[in-house]
Structure 1
Amino acid sequence: MFHNVRAFWNQSFGIPHPSLTENNLPDQTDKVYLITGANTGVGYQLAIILYSRNAKVYIGARSEAKARSAIDSIMQLHPKSTGSLEYLHLDLADLNTIEATAEDFMSRETKLHWLNNNAGVMVPPVGSKGAQGIDLQFQTNILGPFLLTKLLLPILRRTAEAEPKGTVRVSWAGSLAVDVQTVKGGLSWKKDEDGQDTLDDSKGNSLNYGATKAANYFLAHEFGKRFGARDGVLHNSYNPGNLKSDLQRHTEAEWPAWAIWIVHKYMLYPAIFGAYTELYSGLSPDLSIDEQGVYIVPWGRRGGVKPDLVAELGKEGGSAEKIFEWCDRVTKQYA
């Protein structure tokens, strides 16, 4: 409990100024980035920063109209940029579509310097499911990003061969929920009809959301352990911060007006600050290839998670290993 209170305070109040922003980010000419969910919120703010420094940024989004609108607005903000903005169709809630998305990207590019699994959904209406009938949060926040990342490993590996080790990266979206909104050990498991361990979706929307964020913390470590050192790619995860974004659109429909007022006035920061956290995860020169799975907290600094999650790392049959194997088993038929 002490860790939870400390993590809540440390990641919510008195946060140090960001060390990497649009003001000191070096020129990004010839760099290629893919940001999922970049048509709005934190991802949109991050795309603005990268494009302003002449990067090529792919906007991964389900709605082409919304992505095109975001692209147009970013270009208007920085008309002198020599970078480019590209739309990439991405529906993380439908596993049938992910392979085509990865193939589309790799048909258009020969390199990828940073895959940022930024997109997510938080506590949607009870009973919401993805296209494959799995809990919508599990599909959008865990399974979709897992499959996309696995399919893009070859291009990440090739890019890393020509870049300094650890500068090619994959980042996974965590949350303060990793510390304050998860069961002991981060994930809850049940047996399916074949007797195999399956992520339990019966804990309710709030704990299911926390589970997806803990899963991403574990997946950053597992991808790093299994592929990172071999490929020269750094895998990490982050809590972007408590932010004003579209992510709260479902929760606010359920909360009383006074609670919403308090949260917005005292706890939520502009989305640009979350972009600084993510920018540090993806581009900070302070991070090295040896820091596989490193967890980044607002607004760009190394942090930690509660001890019972750390205990699962490297444990035979622990949740970190189980979540990778569960994702691999569920998504195998779609790759």
Structure 2
Amino acid sequence: MMSLPDTDSEDELPPGWEERATDDGTVCYVNQQNKTSQWTHPRTGRSKRITGELPIGWEKYYDEQLKKFIFLNKETQQRSNVDPRLAFAVEEPTQNVAQVRQRFDSCSTALQVLHGKDLHGRIALITGANCGIGFETARSLTQHGCEIIFACRSRASAEAAIDRIAQERPSARARCRFVALDLSSLRAVQQFVREIKESVNHIDYLFLNAGVFALPYSTTVDGLETTFQVSHLSHFYLTMQLETLFDYKTRIVVLSSESHRFANLPVDNLAIHHVSPPAEKYWSMMAYNNAKLCNVLFAQELAQRWKQRGISVFSVHPGNMVSTELSRNYWFYRWLFAIVRPFTKSLQQAAATSIYCATANELTGLSGLYFNNCYFCEPSKLSKSAALQQQLWHLSEHLVSELLEDH
């Protein structure tokens, strides 16, 4: 580890480091030389928080031209993007997830979670935002000023979804845009990433929401079983390729399911035939369970790898048998979902946990947790296997590299 230069004050920042404050008052430390960030002071290893109102004479406003919040001293007309309260930041004890108070539950809606929040200037990228939980997530965020990138396969369905949002709130149309994303093709993901990087320089919220369920056996253009590639591998590749657009303000939410508890992936010697089985060993329900386990495994490993950057990663269960288009591929599941519809969550309730993980102030500095009903819970024992997390990561890297080289 590189030693830091001597100083008279252990609280003095090393050269190239800056202090910044998040919306909830947590202090973040940014290294301008290597473009990394972390929640703890680079010398003391402790975290800080700012509290209270802005000093007398100061106000905060959003600059539409600069696309950022600015602090203005009304007396001197001094403008700064640095919160003046940083000068009075105080140390706080290390945050413990057990100390997070539960504010919402299974009945809470996405709009209740967002009550009072101003998300102007924030950008969310949502895969599968054209329908179901993804659409309800987009709709709720736009009502609070967030810009949404609809990452969908079908332009027609995405634009129809944007029209529905605009009918409810006309001003939201300007904050929504479609970018084509076909998760059944790594080359299509590659093209999507190029387009995103040309149009934005930062992503605040990444919702890995898209998925498939109860598919008859099929393979993608890359030759992999469709459920695995669409639900996990392409999302893995997408996230890795967008890495430069993430910083300490970014939260990544991976939609999984309680179905991950019924997966059957082996703890040792994970191989491609386990995650992408041949037709004769394929069962649609187990393919879904295993894909949902991959979602949790990926979120856990990503959280560990990006912990020092201050990027929060969470996996969530939105609800049991929520009435979405997920069941459209098989008549039996369409019938079953229709039968249980009166007893399951609404789409507003199903989107609440994802939005809570993306926006809740009390989760600042936390990462790698699994949430259900807007509160953390223990995922399966299998999903907590560090060995399996690492095996899936390495297998995913290998598959992406091999498939892109072959094409």
2:351 maps to 1:282? no
**1:108-187 equivalent positions in 2, closer than 5 A:** 108-125=199-216, 127-156=217-246, 160=247, 165=248, 167-179=249-261, 181-183=262-264
* CA distance, structure 1, for counterparts of residue 210 and residue 150 of structure 2: 11
Deviations 1:17-50 (A, max 9, x none): 3587365141111101100000000010111111
Q: What amino acid is the match of 2:301?
A: E
By how many angstroms is 1:176 displaced? 1.5
SS of residue matched to 2:211: coil
* CA distance, structure 1, for counterparts of residue 349 and residue 109 of structure 2: 8
* CA distance, structure 2, for counterparts of residue 25 and residue 209 of structure 1: 37
Distance 1:103-1:203 versus aligned 2 partners, 3 A rule: same
Q: Which residue of 2 aligns with 1:206?
A: 285
2:383 maps to 1:309? yes
By how many angstroms is 1:88 displaced? 1.0
Structure 2 counterpart of 1:322, from 391, 394, 406: 391
SS of residue matched to 2:218: coil
By how many angstroms is 1:188 displaced? 8.5
Distance 1:200-1:47 versus aligned 2 partners, 3 A rule: closer
Deviations 1:154-209 (A, max 9, x none): 111xxx2xxxx4x4111111101012x31276x786656xxxx8635235211111
* CA distance, structure 1, for counterparts of residue 182 and residue 350 of structure 2: 23
Structure 2 counterpart of 1:39, from 130, 136, 145: 130
Identity of counterpart residues, as a percentage? 22
* CA distance, structure 1, for counterparts of residue 355 and residue 304 of structure 2: 23
2:327 maps to 1:248? yes
Deviations 1:106-145 (A, max 9, x none): 10011110111001001212x2111111110011001110
Q: Which residue of 1 aligns with 2:144?
A: 53
2:370 maps to 1:295? yes
Q: How many residues align?
A: 296
- Return the TM-score normalized by structure 1: 0.81
Distance 1:76-1:16 versus aligned 2 partners, 3 A rule: closer
* CA distance, structure 2, for counterparts of residue 74 and residue 278 of structure 1: 19
Q: Which residue of 2 aligns with 1:85?
A: 176
By how many angstroms is 1:325 displaced? 0.7
By how many angstroms is 1:234 displaced? 0.8
The runs of 5 or more residues in structure 2 that have no matched partner are 1-104
**Contact 1:189–1:200 (Cα < 8 Å) also in 2:** no
- Return the TM-score normalized by structure 2: 0.68
* CA distance, structure 1, for counterparts of residue 260 and residue 271 of structure 2: 23
**Contact 1:295–1:304 (Cα < 8 Å) also in 2:** yes
**Contact 1:121–1:137 (Cα < 8 Å) also in 2:** yes
Q: What amino acid is the match of 1:206?
A: M
Tell me the C-alpha RMSD between the 2 structures. Answer: 2.4
* CA distance, structure 2, for counterparts of residue 79 and residue 122 of structure 1: 33
Which has more helix, going by share of residues? 1
Q: Which residue of 1 aligns with 2:3?
A: none
SS of residue matched to 1:217: helix
Q: What amino acid is the match of 1:302?
A: F
* CA distance, structure 2, for counterparts of residue 256 and residue 39 of structure 1: 19
Which has more strand, going by share of residues? 2
Q: Which residue of 2 aligns with 1:63?
A: 154
**Contact 1:296–1:302 (Cα < 8 Å) also in 2:** yes
Structure with bigger RCO (C-alpha 8 Å, 6+ apart): 1
Q: What amino acid is the match of 2:372?
A: V
Decide which structure has the larger Cα Rg and report it. Answer: 2
By how many angstroms is 1:261 displaced? 5.0
By how many angstroms is 1:288 displaced? 2.8
The runs of 5 or more residues in structure 1 that have no matched partner are 1-13
Structure 1 counterpart of 2:164, from 51, 65, 73: 73
